[in-house]
Structure 1
Amino acid sequence: MPFAVYMLGLAVFAQATSEFMLSGLVPDIAADLGVSIPQAGFLTSAFAIGMVVGGPLLAILTLRWPRRTALVAFLVAFAAAHVVGALTDDYGVLLATRIVGALANAGFWAVAAGAAVGMVEPGAKARAMAVVLGGVTLACVAGVPGGAVLGQLWGWRSAFWAVAGLSVAGLVAVLASIPAGRPDAPATGLRAELRALVGPQLLTAYAMNALVQGATFCTFTYLAPLLTEVSGYGDGWVPAMLVLFGLGAFVGITVGGRIADARPYTVLLAGMSALTLGWAVLALTAGGAVAVFALVFVQGMLAFGIAPALTSRTFYLAGGAPTLAGGFLTAAFNVGNTAGPWFGGLTIDAGLGFRAPVWTSALMMAVALGTLGLAAVLRRRDERREETPATAAV
């Protein structure tokens, strides 16, 4: 695996820390800024909204940029947004910085994903994506819990300052490892890439990414109040449980990245079925501390274990459009990140309690399984068409 792919994973670590760290900071932000917990939770959704818009748009705008230039510009903007966020006392300004930071993150992801799969052999796309996504799991293991600890010791603003510093470190890593030119960029234009993105199978790939991520972050965003209000854990346990989720994610993505290229549908069917069942069991057993402890690890492992298969499937289906495929994949990923916390917040506002987001996660996964079934039908249809000899028009 090229060294530059690992450096992209390091930069992703900084950005994923920002995207997910609010899971441990939502109560503190709500109290400090005088807003409700669902309003504070919407900061996660706002970040995802910015990435939904920014992924395709910035992928198009930077299609002809040198990759290192684009990556550096996005990291600088990302760091600046977090400095402003750390300084503000206004919820509206903080919300705006989350959107700006998300736009920068979306642009980085779009370019980085295309760069990573372009640096490896054609049959190793899932492994490359596993390395890049490994930055996300490291954020869950170290960055997100670290942010929660900083928030408890010195306030939530200290976590934003830490992300700004991590972004600078990622910037140095990108400058040191990514070539100044773009030798691995495809020699295709915007129209050619857009044509390559049209197809029912790609639409199912985007839909599955959105549904799985929505299910994951519907629960993950409100994990802190679930632990403290339902499971009986004290506030000090929240960082430890976030670490546990991240450890599961690290195990899952390590194993999933090694087998997804060879057995993508097997990984998706088994992993998505287990993930659906796991959310339902967590909702039922959320009052038991021991059961929740085990399920936090298992659900992190399953959610990230299928991530390489989900993400690499897009690049296999859109081989002629790696840059825009990365942008649209980023958008799909964050449609889920937007919808999941929003649906979860709606259930809490409706008075259904903190178990309700977990049930919502199970429902979203059931829909994702149906989408996988549709994808399998479309795949068999396309295979039959390829096997049928073409007949000349008379």
Structure 2
Amino acid sequence: MTRTSNDTSPGTPPTAPVTTVGAATDTTPRRSPRATSAALFALSLGGFGIGLSEFIVAGLLTEVSDDLGVTVSQAGYLVSAYAVAVVPGALVLTPFLMRRTPKHALIVLLGFFILGNVFSAWSPTYTVMMLGRILAALAHGGYFGIGAVLAGSLVPEGRRASAVAALFAGLTIANVLGVPVGAFVGQQFGWRTVFWLFTVIGVVALAGIMLLVPVTDPERSELSTAQQFRVLTRPQVLASLLTTALVFGGMFGVFTYIEPLLREVTGFPASAVPWLLVLFGVGLFTGNILGGRAADRSPDTAVLVLAVLLPVVILALGSVASMPVPTTILLALLGAVGFATVPGLQARVLRHATGAETFASATNIAAFNLGNTIGVTIVGAAIGAGLGLRIPTVTGAILTVIGLGLLLAARVTGRKGRS
């Protein structure tokens, strides 16, 4: 994809050229393991802040609604508006930012993130708060999309999925510890304090990227912007994007409504729910790391196996929801299996989107969020229709099975195309 220039962070030795992603010869720049780890940590810290900003409002709806003088349902729109705004951020901002070096593009995106959180922390009205949420969301797709490609360019070809997993580790840690801690801080010191903390995290991540991440050339694609949009309609790319949306729509459709299931069906007390959610987050983190290693060996096989396992885990969770111990185990497995698909899905998109890798990568991140919105909407409608609190596991499994079907069809089509 890119080639590392000699303009690197302080203390980093000059680097050799890197060939285009997917090229036969792997000439990844020779950076010291310590320098590479530091750069990946800086990228992950930015992902941590963005992950916190996306999910935190759900834990502070009452405080936000009371302070801004709106209903709880109106405050809930601050969550859905963020998810929706990720899509235009990925599809509109990313093509323009690809003309810049990946490092500078990430700096611009973190600027949106910082500005959005300043608006949210200061917001005197609901409208200003909504504007802040949208500004912060515009950074989401491009940051993870461009960051994934950049992270992969810093390591040898056989470790690229693991590098992507390192980037997403910040997002998973946000689920493990960040959201519960952020909700606690908001309840103790006011919800605005949380957004000021996000601003600080953004500034620290920005400094880390400026100091530790090497400058690499912009993506040199021979395709015009219109042609890169057409890359997204390639059967293999489109199948990957739709699989991402369906798999994560199914998983987060279940997770969003897991709290009433745990309390009213399983019988856990309210005090146990935060710890159970932390356990789910630990599953996310573990699955992300293991999924990266599996995808390094064979991304298609890893995604296929995990796509088969996920609906099985979801249905098993619904079937044993009245039993505390099996439910606890399957909750952790839900996080592990679901998020283990991330590196493989991202790697698959990159492999099939030749000429538009960065744009397709950012679009895949948008597909995550769009899928989440679709899954939550479908599950909410099913619950509203009186189908019970176990119905999320049924609808979630159906969505993931459809995603599995698309993936299988894409593999068959791809093999026929090569024959």
User: Normalised by the shorter chain, which TM-score bucket?
Assistant: 0.7 to 0.9
Going from structure 1 to structure 2, the CA distance change for 1:382 and 1:369 (only over 3 Å counts) comes to: same
2 CA distance for matches of 1:265 and 1:103?
A: 30
Bigger Cα displacement from structure 2, 204-213 vs 366-375 = 366-375
- Code of the residue aligned with 2:131 in structure 1: it is A
Going from structure 1 to structure 2, the CA distance change for 1:266 and 1:159 (only over 3 Å counts) comes to: same
RMSD of aligned Cα (Å): 2.6
Q: CA deviation at 1:242?
A: 2.2
Q: CA deviation at 1:204?
A: 0.4
Unaligned residue ranges in structure 2 (runs of 5+): 1-32
- Code of the residue aligned with 1:259 in structure 2: it is A
Going from structure 1 to structure 2, the CA distance change for 1:69 and 1:100 (only over 3 Å counts) comes to: same
- Who is 2:283 aligned against? 248
Residue 120 (str. 1) matches residue 155 (str. 2): yes
1 CA distance for matches of 2:289 and 2:161?
A: 11
Structure 1, residues 59-116: CA drift from partner, whole Å, max 9, x if none?
Answer: 1121212333321222122122223223446555433332221112223223212322
- Who is 1:389 aligned against? none
- Who is 2:71 aligned against? 35
Structure 1, residues 229-272: CA drift from partner, whole Å, max 9, x if none?
Answer: 44333443333222211111111111111121322233222212
- Who is 1:388 aligned against? none
Structure 1, residues 280-328: CA drift from partner, whole Å, max 9, x if none?
Answer: 2222333433333222211010011121111111111123222212222
Going from structure 1 to structure 2, the CA distance change for 1:86 and 1:95 (only over 3 Å counts) comes to: same
- Asked if structure 1 preserves the Cα contact closer than 8 Å seen for 2:101 and 2:217, the reply is no
| Alignment of structure 1 residues 330-369 onto 2, 5 Å | 330-369=365-404
Bigger Cα displacement from structure 2, 17-26 vs 273-282 = 17-26
Q: CA deviation at 1:30?
A: 5.8
| Alignment of structure 1 residues 41-52 onto 2, 5 Å | 41-52=76-87
TM-score (structure 2 length as normaliser): 0.82
- Asked if structure 2 preserves the Cα contact closer than 8 Å seen for 1:148 and 1:239, the reply is no
- Asked if structure 2 preserves the Cα contact closer than 8 Å seen for 1:228 and 1:234, the reply is yes
Match for residue 183 of structure 1 among 217, 220, 236: 217
Q: CA deviation at 1:196?
A: 4.4
1 CA distance for matches of 2:188 and 2:258?
A: 20
- Code of the residue aligned with 2:71 in structure 1: it is V
- Secondary structure (helix, strand or coil) at the match of 2:355 reads coil
- Asked if structure 2 preserves the Cα contact closer than 8 Å seen for 1:26 and 1:40, the reply is yes
- Who is 2:321 aligned against? 286
| Alignment of structure 1 residues 203-214 onto 2, 5 Å | 203-214=238-249
2 CA distance for matches of 1:136 and 1:54?
A: 18
Identity %: 36
1 CA distance for matches of 2:142 and 2:272?
A: 35
Match for residue 262 of structure 1 among 289, 297, 316: 297
Answer 1 or 2: higher relative contact order, Cα 8 Å, separation at least 6: 1
- Asked if structure 1 preserves the Cα contact closer than 8 Å seen for 2:52 and 2:178, the reply is yes
Residue 138 (str. 1) matches residue 155 (str. 2): no
- Secondary structure (helix, strand or coil) at the match of 1:236 reads helix
- Code of the residue aligned with 1:176 in structure 2: it is L
Q: CA deviation at 1:28?
A: 5.4
Match for residue 120 of structure 2 among 71, 77, 85: 85
Q: CA deviation at 1:8?
A: 1.0
- Who is 1:391 aligned against? none
- Who is 2:136 aligned against? 101
